[in-house]
A and B are shown apart, each in its own frame.
Chain A
Amino acid sequence: MTTLRWEDPTTTGSCRLPGHAYFFGYDSSVAAATGHRGLSQGFTSLSGQCRFRYYDHPGRVTTADRAEPARTAQGEVVQGWSVLSVPHLWQIDGFGRLQYTDEGYPFPIDVPHVPSDNPTGVYQFDVELDPQPAGSRRILRLDGVEAYVEVHVNGTEVGWSKGSRLCAEFDITDAAHDGRNLVTLTVLQFADSTYIEDQDMWWASGIFRDLYVYVRPATHLRDYVVRTDRLPDGTAHLTVGLDLVTEPGTGSGSIAWAVRTLDGGRVLASGESVAPGGDVDVDALLDDVAWWNPEQPVLHRLDLDVRDDEGRTTQYVSVRFGFRDLTIRDGLLLLNGSYFAMHGVNRHDHDDRSGRAVGIDRVRRDLEMMKRHNINAVRTAHYPNDPRFYGLCDEVGLLVVAETDLESHGFANVGDIGRLTDDPVWRDAYVDRIERHVLAQRNHPSIVLWSLGNESGDGCNITAMYQRCKELDPTRPVHYEEDRDGRDVDVISTMYSRVSQMNDFGEHPHHKPRILCEYGHAMGNGPGGLSEYQQVFDRWDSIQGHFVWEWCDHGLRDVTADGGVRHTYGGDHGDYPNNGNFCIDGLVFPWQQPSPGLTEYAQVVCPVKVEAADGGLLIRNGFYFSSLEDIDLVVEDRVDGVVRHSLTVPAGPVAPRESAVVEVPAAIDGYGQEVLRTVSVLRRTATAWSEPHARLGVFQLPVSGDGLGALSAPTSPGAPASPLLRRRPLTVTEDAHTVVVRAGSSAWTFDTFTGRLVRWQGAGRDLVVRAPRFRMWKPLVDNHQQEYEALWHPRHLQVMQESTRAVQVEQRDDRVVVEVRSTLAPPALDLGMRVTYRWELFDDGAARLALSGEPYGDYTDIVPRIGLELGLPSDCDQVEFYGRGPGENYPDSRTAQVVGRYTTTVAEMFTPYVVPQDCANHEDVRWVMHRDRHGRGLLVGAERSPLSWSSWPYSGEQIDAARHVTDLVPDPDAITVNLDHAVLGLGSNSWGSEVLDGYRVRFEPFSYSLLMAPLNAGDVDPGLVARGLRAAHPALGPATPRASTTEALS
Chain B
Amino acid sequence: MTLFSSREDLATGRSGVTKWVRLLSALDNARAVRPGVAHSVGDSLTYWRESATAHGDGALVAHRRYQTVLAVLDGEVRVELVPRTGLVPVMPYSDLSDRETFAPVPGGGDVVTVSPGQILAVPIDHAWRREPTTTADLLVVRLTVEGATFHNK
Do A501 and B94 form a contact, CB below 8 Å, given A510-B37, A790-B148?
Answer: no
B16 at the interface (CB under 8 A from A): no
Q: Which residues from chain A contact B46 at a C-beta distance below 8 Å?
A: 497, 501, 504-505
- Chain B residues contacting A509 (CB-CB under 8 Å) are 37-38
Q: Does A1021 contact B (CB under 8 A)?
A: no
Q: How many residues of A contact B (CB 8 A)?
A: 39
Contact B39 A485 (CB under 8 A): yes
B: number of interface residues (CB 8 Å): 35
B97 near A992: Cβ-Cβ < 8 Å: no
From 56 to 76 in chain B, residues with beta carbon under 8 angstroms from any chain A beta carbon are: 64-66
Contacts of B32 in A (CB 8 A): 485
Cα-based distance from A933 to B70 in the complex (angstroms): 65
Instruction: Name the segment of B80-88, B98-106, B113-121, B126-134 touching the other chain.
Output: B98-106
**Cα–Cα, bound, A494→B101 (Å):** 28
**B94/A1048 in contact, CB under 8 A:** yes
* CB atoms of B142 and A997 under 8 A apart: no
| Given known A-B contacts A508-B48, A994-B146, A500 and B40 have beta carbons under 8 A apart | no
> Which applies to chain B's interface (DSSP): helix, strand, loop or mixed?
loop
Decide if B149 touches A1050 in the complex (CB within 8 Å). no
If A501-B40, A504-B142, A994-B146 touch, whether A1050 touches B66 (CB-CB below 8 Å) is no
When the two chains form their complex, are residues B149 and A790 in contact, meaning their CB atoms are under 8 A apart? yes
Give the chain A neighbours of B147 by CB distance below 8 A. Answer: 790
Q: List A483-529 residues whose CB lies under 8 Å from chain B.
A: 484-485, 494, 496-501, 503-505, 507-511, 529
Interface string of A443-458 (1 = CB under 8 A from B): 0000000000001000
Contact A1047 B94 (CB under 8 A): yes
Asked whether B92 is an interface residue with its Cβ less than 8 Å from the other chain, the reply is yes
Point out the residue from B33, B65, B151 that lies within 8 Å of A786, measured CB to CB: B151
A507-B38 contact given A500-B66, A997-B64, CB 8 Å threshold: yes
Beta-carbon contact of B33 and A535 below 8 Å:
no
Query: Nearest-CB distance from B51 to chain A (Å)?
Result: 13
**In whole angstroms, how far apart are the Cα atoms of A535 and B94 in the complex?**
11
Interface residues of B in 139-153 (CB under 8 A from A): 142, 144, 146-149, 151-153
How far apart sit A485 and B93, CA to CA, in the bound complex (Å)? 30
For the complex, give the distance between the alpha carbons of A500 and B45 in Å. 11
Chain B hits for A539, CB < 8 A? 96
Contact assessment for B33 and A496 in the assembled complex, using a CB-CB cutoff below 8 Å: no
Q: Once bound together, how far apart are the Cα atoms of A471 and B74, in whole Å?
A: 42
Question: Does B43 count as interface, using CB distance less than 8 angstroms?
Answer: yes
Task: Check if A532 is an interface residue, CB within 8 A of chain B.
Answer: yes
Residue among A485, A498, A511, A992 making CB contact with B65, cutoff 8 Å: A498
Q: Which of A503, A992, A998, A1048 sits near B152, CB closer than 8 Å?
A: A992
Q: Which of B43, B96, B148 has the most CB of A within 10 A?
A: B96
Complex CA–CA separation, A996 to B36 (angstroms):
26
Q: How far is the CA of A653 from the CA of B80 in the complex (A)?
A: 52
- Is A1046 an interface residue when CB atoms closer than 8 A count as contact? yes
Q: A500-B65, A504-B142, A786-B149 are in contact. Are A997 and B93 (CB under 8 A)?
A: yes
Given contacts A498-B43, A504-B46, whether A991 and B94 have CB atoms under 8 Å apart is no
Contact of A499 among B34, B96, B144, B153 (CB under 8 A): B96
A505 to B66, CA, bound (A): 14
Instruction: Tell yes or no: B28 within 8 A of A by CB.
Output: no
CA distance A536 to B152 in the complex (A): 22
A505–B43 touching, CB < 8 Å: no
Determine the distance from Cα of A994 to Cα of B65 in the docked complex, in whole angstroms. Answer: 10
Closest to B153 in A: A412
Task: Indicate whether A1049 reaches chain B with its CB closer than 8 angstroms.
Answer: yes
Contact of A1049 among B39, B96, B149 (CB under 8 A): B96
Q: Chain A 535-546 against B: per-residue CB contact (8 Å), 1 yes, 0 no?
A: 110010000000
C-alpha gap A501/B144 in the complex (Å): 10
Given A485-B39, A508-B38, do A1046 and B152 touch, yes or no (CB 8 Å)? no
B91 beta carbon closer than 8 Å to chain A: yes
Chain B: CB-nearest residue to A508:
B38
Please, how many angstroms separate the alpha-carbon atoms of A790 and B146 in the complex? 10
- Smallest distance from the beta carbon of B148 to chain A beta carbons, Å? 7
Q: How far is it, in angstroms, between the C-alpha of A1048 and the C-alpha of B97 when the chains are bound?
A: 9
Option from A504, A507, A790, A1046 in Cβ contact (under 8 Å) with B95: A1046
Q: In whole angstroms, how far apart are the Cα atoms of A694 and B145 in the complex? A: 44
User: Would B96 and A789 count as touching, CB distance under 8 A?
Assistant: no
Closest to B152 in A: A496
Beta-carbon nearest neighbor of A514 in chain B: B38
The answer for the CA separation of A494 and B46 in the assembled complex, in Å, is 11
Across-interface contacts of B98 in A (CB, < 8 A): 499-500, 503, 997
Residue of A nearest to B151 (CB): A786
Report the minimum CB–CB distance from A775 to chain B (whole Å). Answer: 24
In the complex, A640→B142 CA distance in Å? 46
B87 vs chain A, min Cβ distance (A): 15
How many angstroms from the CA of A501 to the CA of B43 in the assembled complex? 9
Contact residues, A550-592 vs B (CB, 8 A): none
Taking the closest CB of chain A, its distance from the CB of B106, in whole angstroms, is 24
- B52: min CB distance to chain A, Å: 15
Q: Among the interface residues A484, A494, A501, A511, which one has the most CB atoms of the partner chain B within 10 A?
A: A501
Bound-state Cα–Cα, A998 to B66, Å: 15
A146 to chain B, nearest CB (A): 26
Residues of B within 8 A of A994 (CB): 65, 146
Q: Which residue of A lies closest to B45 (CB)?
A: A501
Contact status A1047-B92, CB under 8 Å: yes
A532-B96 contact, Cβ under 8 Å, with A484-B39, A504-B38: yes
CA distance A532 to B98 in the complex (A): 11
Q: Which residue of B lies closest to A789 (CB)?
A: B149
Q: Which of B33, B97, B144 contacts A485 (CB 8 A)?
A: B33
Q: Are B43 and A536 in touch, CB under 8 angstroms?
A: no
Residues in A neighbouring B101, C-beta threshold 8 A: 1050
Contact with B along A990-1016 (1 / 0, CB 8 A): 011010111000000000000000000
Q: A485-B33, A998-B95 are in contact. List 5 more A-B contacts (CB 8 A).
A: A412-B153, A496-B43, A501-B66, A503-B96, A507-B38
The 7 closest A-B pairs by CB, nearest first: A500-B98, A508-B38, A1050-B91, A790-B149, A996-B95, A504-B46, A1046-B95
Q: Which residues of B contact A (CB under 8 A)?
A: 29, 32-34, 36-40, 43, 46, 48, 64-66, 91-101, 142, 144, 146-149, 151-153
A-B contact pairs, 28 of them (CB 8 A): A494-B40, A496-B152, A498-B43, A498-B144, A500-B66, A500-B96, A500-B97, A501-B40, A501-B43, A504-B48, A505-B38, A508-B36, A508-B37, A510-B38, A511-B37, A532-B96, A786-B151, A789-B149, A790-B148, A994-B65, A994-B146, A997-B65, A998-B95, A1046-B95, A1046-B96, A1047-B93, A1049-B96, A1050-B91
